[in-house]
Chains A and B, each alone.
Chain A
Amino acid sequence: MATQDSFDSSQPGMSLLKRVFQINLVLVVLICLPALVGFAMLYSAAGGEMEPWAARQIVRFGVGLVIMFTVALVDIRFWIKSAYFIYAGAFVLLVGVELMGDSAMGAQRWVDIGPLQLQPSEIMKIALVIALARYFHTVGSEDIKRITVLIPPLLLILAPAALVLRQPDLGTAVLLALSGTMMLFLAGLRLWKLGVALVALLGAIPVAWQFLRGYQKARILTFIDPESDPLGAGYHILQSKIAFGSGGMFGKGFLGGTQSHLNFLPEKQTDFIFTMLAEEFGLVGGIALLLLYFALMAYGTIISLRCNSQFGRMLGMGIITTFFLYVFINMAMVMGLVPVVGVPLPLISYGGSSMLTLLFGFGLVLNIYIHRDIQIGRRQHNTST
């Protein structure tokens, strides 16, 4: 079965129409629901106005959906073949930002390509998942026991994470490192090897600390005791907790959040949007959103498990894991459980880059559902004829 070893020889491609019918509508609905919540919250953040956030977010979501479906309908074998090219492209862009990027909010994160502002660190989040999925697809279950197998994926993870940290973007760096590590775990790495990887990451922390800017260090330090400096760096966390607490069980009602509307909340339309939701809809609203996210992730996990190829499974779970990390870090951050690192709430926070990244990612999840039965060989080209 030499042909089986090649990426694209085993089965003929499905027709486009057939693929369209295979789009998982349940998943699409589960993606649209949080986005709708997001529109409502952005409408509220603007004090009951579509401008400046809600309307633009809807347009972006529309564009994102088009991208998502496009990604979903492309043959899965295209993605595995181009996995490393995508990663390499994202990496080049990251370096490009380093060299000629613009600064926004004191952080160098954007690169201008004509009228389009591109955030390479966002692209990298997906690119890393694709690259790792391909890597572990090609590594057989025998090979995975070799220690040297660890070296390429660790490099794949650490190189972009270090670059992102230099920008400096602590949130994305943490996200890359954690999602990469979780994929190593999913790939079936022995736990002790994972331990080695973990030690490597921990060893990187003192080095990483050198990269951090003063404000980032302050965020981490004040996280430990936010009340000690209620008007300084601890202000955001404290105000956010006040918003949560004053929301109570049922909240202050839509458009009724005093903390948010009187500007006590920082960045209420982006990183702290969950706080506003919790203030206006209370514990009930917060739990409801949490359940919605849980349903989306659980469904995504099931889709991944049903996939026949290792690439597909790894890809699906990689995306779901990244999504989980977004949700967890953002929520834990606004509730004062982890330092404020600047991670948006997926599908809800205002912002184009993360929205497009996520929908691109969900496009891949839809893709592996469509192509769940496709067998993919382990190598790029036929080795025997």
Chain B
Amino acid sequence: MQGEASRSKLFTRRTIMLGGAQTLLLAALAGRMYQLQVLESDSYKTLADDNRINMQLLPPPRGRIFDRFGQPLAVNQLNYRLVIVPEQSGDLERALSALSDLLPIETRDRERILREARRKRKFVPITVRENLTWEEVSRIEVNAPDLPGTMIDVGQTRHYLAGRETAHVIGYVGAVSEKELEGDPVLGLPGFRIGKNGAEKTFEKALRGKAGSRQVEVNAFGRIIRELRRDEGQPGDDHILSIDMGLQEYANARIQDKSSAAVVIDVHSGELLAMVSAPSFNPNSFTTGISHTEWNALMANERFPLTNKAISGQYSPGSTFKMVVALAALDGGIINAHQKFFCPGFIELGNRRFHCWKRGGHGHMNMNSAITQSCDVYFYEVSKRIGVNAIAAMARRFGLGEKLGIELPSERKGLVPTRDWKLAVHGVPWQKGETLVVGIGHGFLLTTPLQLAVMTARIANGGIAVLPKLVRETQRSGQRLPDTREPFPSMGLSAAHLAIVQKGMNDVTNYPRGTAFSARIEEPGMAMAGKTGSVQVKRITKAERESGVRKNEDRPWKDRDHALFVGYAPVEAPRYAISVIVEHGGGGSKSAAPVARDILREVQRRDPARRGPGENIVLDGAAV
């Protein structure tokens, strides 16, 4: 019994020790609770809110693009996407094979989905396929109960209604690259597209609008429980271009089988009514992700379909430059319009011979007949007397050799050479012979079709320094935004001098000896004035000249001359100016002038200028 009593005492002692220790440990728990819930409570409260409230960006609908009459050119289409959430779908491979009974899933897509599923968190939706047809959507919706974790998600895809006909003007949108990820957080949204070319790129900021946002309460799986706050951003501004889609279509059809470009401009407002470049490409291929074969085909094409030749193509203007030389001469007062030069078919300078395009020569030429018949020798003589710097100065007054500020990326500025330029760039002094070559629009001289159209417009409008523009008006939520552009200044040219040049251009098409008489417009009141140009791509050697110059048609395509034509109409009250280049088209009168004639006749029939800049356009629907 004594053993039992001492055992009881020992037990009691040990129990009290153990109980004490346990009480201390429980007190420690209470202390920890105090630390977490009182001392550090604030920082955990913030973390809890972060957990719960999720900020989501709402991508703004992209601003639409219309032609001058309100015809939609670039719109947003609803894009039905099939997405799958691995967390809910169970075994992903099995889910995908169940899906493939309903709509085909390529092996490549399947691999991409599985790869993304490994990288992303389980609740992040993965796109299975985009651009589902309505039939596919309904097939999936009907079977939805058997397809856990799959959802139809509605996004927006840019769609270009005119496709390749406006591809160079409007450009296209594409996925945001690493480099473009500046500032705006909306760029980081999956599937967000930004302008990559054309007006889409130039007006990117305005077209994009401002992203809205919403705060949602989410659970740990990222699933939305409810919406707390919503801020609808600002849809992108709608842009109304100066382009007349009917004319654009016509011009496209007229040049599409060539490697060519054409620009039609309103000589008073500078509005571009058509700007086409052939061959073209399908911009809709880019919005959904272009295939490798299509991309490679575009890149390998020697006619450069992706280049907008109207602003990025630089060509010697050839004889279309002769008006500038004539005006430089008249403006400098060095020669007058009646002064005659004799054309024997060539001119000699030192020991070099400079040929006229007409081997037998034109005989005695004054300014009018020299323009009409495009006599090279006359302009050699004139250039020799006025010098290259005077020519360059006049060229610059017509907007050559500089960017005209058209609202498109990748505009080139061409080249107007001077004595100083040659010395600075090439390190050798200017040669006198080079002045003669520039005098007929060859040599170092480079211009874009847009520059030639603007040059022609400035001649036609009586010397107003008009500048080209592509956008007529911008509307934000249906409200017209103010236009801050200023009226164009005068070039300060004498009206009499301009009249001489205009008369010459009129005779090119309407006088039987004119180089483009066969391409005249015969409809009353629509007559056009113009100037042909042919640019040698390959130098004619002496041997070739002696053995007889081969005709363009006999040469390989790449060696044929570029054909150019600039013109305006109607001659009585000029309204529309045009420039056309047909690469390797042979002579200007033969292949460029008929194109220009047809387009100028079409623009006068349509008369897009009837919608003046002051008139408001009401666009239908919101930018959705």
Contacts and interface: CB of A to CB of B under 8 A. Distances in A.
Interface in A243-262: 243-249, 258-259, 262
B36 A244 contact: yes
B14 interface: yes
A263 B52 CA distance: 10
A182 B4 CA distance: 21
B11 A186 contact: yes
Interface string B432-472: 00000000000000000000000000000000000000000
A278 B15 contact: no
Contacts of A247: 37, 41
A170 B502 CA distance: 99
A290 B12 CA distance: 24
A259 B3 contact: no
Contacts of A297: 19, 22
A328 B25 contact: yes
A244 B39 CA distance: 11
Given A262-B51, A262-B217, A328-B26, A245 B3 contact: no
A305 B33 contact: no
Contacts of B17: 185
A335 B44 contact: no
B29 A290 contact: yes
A262 B33 contact: no
Interface stretch (B218-226, B265-273, B361-369): B218-226
A248 B25 contact: no
A249 B225 contact: no
Contacts of B12: 305
Interface stretch (A27-35, A80-88, A279-287): A279-287
Q: How would you classify the secondary structure of chain A's contact residues: helix, strand, loop or mixed?
A: helix
Nearest to A293: B26
Contacts of B34: 283
Contact of A263 (B6, B19, B41, B219): B219
Contact of A287 (B33, B40, B217, B221): B33
Contact of A335 (B7, B11, B18, B33): B33
Contacts of A317: 11, 15, 18
B3 A278 contact: no
Contacts of A262: 51-52, 217-220, 225
A282 B33 CA distance: 9
Nearest to A265: B220
A283 B34 CA distance: 7
Contacts of A211: none
Contacts of B37: 244-245, 247-249, 278, 282-283, 286
Interface residues of A, number: 49
Contacts of A188: 7, 10-11, 14
B18 A321 contact: yes
Interface in A179-226: 182, 185-188
B21 to A, nearest CB: 9
Contacts of A231: 121
Contacts of B424: none
Nearest to B36: A244
Given A248-B41, A283-B38, A294-B23, A242 B51 contact: yes
A239 B220 contact: yes
A246 B26 contact: no
A310 B3 CA distance: 11
A384 B509 CA distance: 145
A245 B7 contact: no
A347 B20 CA distance: 23
Nearest to A243: B48
A334 to B, nearest CB: 10
A343 interface: no
B46 to A, nearest CB: 9
Contacts of A68: none
A190 to B, nearest CB: 11
A246 B46 CA distance: 8
Interface of B: 3-4, 6-8, 10-12, 14-15, 17-19, 22-23, 25-26, 29-30, 32-34, 36-38, 40-41, 43-45, 47-49, 51-52, 121, 217-221, 225
Given A293-B26, A310-B4, A310-B11, 9 more contacts: A141-B4, A258-B48, A263-B219, A283-B38, A287-B33, A294-B23, A297-B19, A328-B25, A328-B29
13 contacts: A140-B3, A185-B18, A231-B121, A242-B47, A245-B37, A245-B48, A283-B33, A286-B30, A297-B22, A304-B15, A328-B22, A335-B29, A337-B29
Ranked nearest first, the 6 interchain pairs of A and B with the lowest CB-CB distance are: A245-B44, A246-B48, A262-B219, A188-B10, A283-B37, A263-B219
